[in-house]
């Protein structure tokens, strides 16, 4: 790192120091002159001091170089001037290190700016904070969601909802959670998800936020529109014939020309018989409408689950035995694929009601199939229990799949259309989801809890 001149300079200084020490020794033994001894004796420490100082100069320059880099300064240049030419090679080494560090710093800054631009331009709000709650990242989308420009600590978000910061801190990685907030008197519905990653000895929590209020409102509107269509269809099916029948009965008891009510003598036994039949029909249709309203109440009001530990294989077996007679009559085979050790925390009565409903649907789906097959399975996947009820029936149409979970929608003659809707509500109360996939020859209902 240093030139040959540096070593020659040190050697020369050591030689001069040794000669001085030799002369001092000769003066002591051969020429004990106080003035000569004093002069030579003073030269020795002076030369030693300058020798040590010269040797330490390279350590000083290395120390200066490392201190500057520890402080983050990579812009200072090093050059040899005058008598310090012997350090030219060292300065050249310093310059190369500086250039490489500066190049790395520029590349890192460009990369950081690139990622910062991406983070700020994404429509998803992002907040990163450490274990103490100090915020490291707060992007533009998050600023727009919370309508604040600066966020130092995550605790400041508690002003939107009490305990909001604790929810974010305890949120499990990968877990999604819907959080409702009131921000500036507006309801904000946030879908949140968190990831945790380690930087050095510190864990950073990265939480993403998406305001899905608009999407939820759109879905809610579509759900209401579907429900209203079904309700209108069912009610009109009952009211229209009643109105028509009442008009017919009115014509029996009223003169067409004058509008006068007929006397008893003007009525025949046939008129009375027709009136009684009409009243019976009105009564039946009215009772059907009352039954429809009661079914609606059963969908709208679902009891709160009472959780317990359930053995799924035992439940599958009970459901199979419950339908054993009809399965034998229709030559339907049932396959139960579930480990006996698999358990689920759920309400036993409600969960059995859901599975019975799916099992009955599967029986009806394979009705008429030469070799009807039903498969009930359950497995533990990714910290959730997945239950499937599969059949080899003709399949479900796309229109029916889009509406089958809407209350009172049914494709069955005489069906109430509440079974699947009620099942969906029960599964949601358990914190799970239910879905269906269908193609000709295979339909699978999947429950995830």
| 418 vs 152: CA distance, rounded Å | 51
Does the structure show a pLDDT above 60 at 445?
A: yes
| 331 vs 413: CA distance, rounded Å | 23
Window from 25-29, 315-319, 445-449 with minimum mean pLDDT:
25-29
Domains delineated in the chain: 4-104 (no CATH), 122-211 (3.30.450.20), 217-300 (no CATH), 308-448 (3.30.565.10)
Does the structure show a pLDDT above 80 at 92?
A: no
pLDDT band at 387 (very low <50, low <70, confident <90, very high): very high
pLDDT of residue 218: 66
Token pair, residue 77, equals: 């240049």
Beta bridge partner(s), residue 402: none
What's the whole-number average pLDDT of the chain?
77
| 213 vs 215: CA distance, rounded Å | 5
Task: State percent of the chain over pLDDT 70.
Answer: 75
| 363 vs 324: CA distance, rounded Å | 11
User: Would you call 273 helix, strand, or coil by DSSP?
Assistant: helix
Does the structure show a pLDDT above 90 at 38?
A: no
User: Would you call 430 helix, strand, or coil by DSSP?
Assistant: coil
Nearest to 383 by CA among 149, 175, 128, 218: 175
Residues 6+ apart with CB under 8 A from 9: 54, 86
Yes or no: say if 130 and 202 are a contact pair by the CB < 8 Å rule. Answer: yes
pLDDT of residue 388: 93
User: Would you call 106 helix, strand, or coil by DSSP?
Assistant: helix
Does the structure show a pLDDT above 90 at 375?
A: yes
Question: pTM higher than 0.85 for the full model?
Answer: no
**What does the buried/exposed string (b/e) look like for 170-180 if buried means 16 or more CB atoms within 10 Å of the residue's CB?**
ebeeeeeeebe
Does the structure show a pLDDT above 70 at 86?
A: no
pLDDT of residue 65: 63
DSSP 88-129: HHHHHHHHHHHHHHHHHHHHHHHHHHHHHHHHHHSSSEEEEE
pLDDT of residue 215: 66
Angle between helices 269-300 and 419-429 in degrees, nearest 10: 20
Yes or no: say if 392 and 441 are a contact pair by the CB < 8 Å rule. Answer: yes
Query: Of residues 24 and 163, which shows the higher confidence score?
Result: 163
Residues 6+ apart with CB under 8 A from 122: 139, 141
Per-residue pLDDT tens for 289-334? Answer: 776 666 666 655 666 788 889 899 988 988 887 788 788 888 889 8
Mean local confidence (pLDDT), 195-204 = 77
CA gyration radius for the chain? 45
pLDDT of residue 246: 78
| 299 vs 422: CA distance, rounded Å | 5
pLDDT band at 68 (very low <50, low <70, confident <90, very high): low
Per-residue pLDDT tens for 109-128? Answer: 776 666 666 666 677 888 88
pLDDT of residue 389: 92
């Amino acid at each position: 790192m240093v030139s040959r001149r540096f070593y020659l300079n040190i050697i020369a200084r050591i030689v001069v120091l040794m000669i001085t020490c030799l002369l001092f020794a000769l003066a002591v033994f051969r020429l004990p002159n106080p003035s000569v001894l004093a002069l030579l004796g003073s030269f020795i420490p002076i030369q030693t001091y300058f020798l040590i100082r010269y040797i330490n100069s390279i350590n000083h320059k290395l120390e200066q170089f490392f201190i500057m880099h520890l402080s983050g300064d990579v812009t200072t240049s090093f050059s040899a001037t005058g008598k310090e030419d012997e350090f030219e090679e060292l300065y050249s080494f310093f310059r190369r290190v500086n250039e490489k560090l500066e190049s790395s710093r520029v590349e890192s800054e460009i990369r950081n700016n690139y990622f910062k631009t991406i983070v700020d331009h994404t429509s998803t709000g992002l907040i990163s904070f450490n274990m103490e709650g100090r915020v490291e990242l707060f992007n533009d989308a998050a600023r727009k969601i919370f309508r604040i420009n600066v966020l130092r600590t995550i605790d400041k978000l508690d002003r939107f909802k009490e305990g909001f910061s604790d929810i974010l801190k305890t949120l499990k990685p990968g877990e999604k959670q819907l959080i409702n907030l009131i921000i500036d008197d507006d309801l904000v519905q946030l879908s949140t998800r968190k990831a945790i990653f380690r930087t050095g000895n510190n864990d950073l929590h990265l939480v993403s936020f998406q305001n899905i209020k608009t999407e939820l409102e759109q879905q809610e509107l579509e759900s209401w529109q579907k429900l209203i269509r079904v309700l209108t269809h069912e009610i009109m099916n009952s009211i229209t014939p009643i109105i028509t029948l009442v008009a017919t009965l009115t014509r029996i008891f009223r003169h067409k020309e004058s509008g006068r009510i007929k006397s008893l003598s003007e009525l025949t036994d046939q008129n009375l018989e027709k009136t009684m039949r009409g009243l019976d029909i009105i009564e039946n249709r009215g009772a059907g409408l009352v039954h429809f309203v009661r079914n609606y109440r059963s969908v709208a009001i679902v009891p709160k689950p009472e959780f317990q530990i359930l053995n799924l294989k035992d439940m599958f077996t009970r459901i199979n035995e419950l339908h054993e007679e009809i399965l034998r009559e229709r030559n339907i085979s049932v396959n139960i694929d579930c480990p006996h050790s698999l358990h689920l925390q759920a309400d036993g009565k409600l969960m059995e009601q859901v599975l019975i409903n799916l099992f009955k649907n599967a029986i009806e789906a394979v009705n008429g199939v030469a070799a009807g097959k039903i498969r009930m399975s359950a497995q533990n996947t990714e910290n959730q229990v997945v239950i499937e009820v599969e059949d080899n029936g003709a399949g479900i149409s796309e229109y029916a799949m889009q509406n089958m979970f809407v209350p009172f929608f049914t494709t069955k003659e005489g069906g109430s259309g509440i079974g699947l809707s009620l099942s969906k509500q029960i599964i949601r109360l358990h914190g799970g989801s239910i879905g269906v996939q269908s193609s000709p020859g295979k339909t699978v209902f999947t429950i995830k809890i």
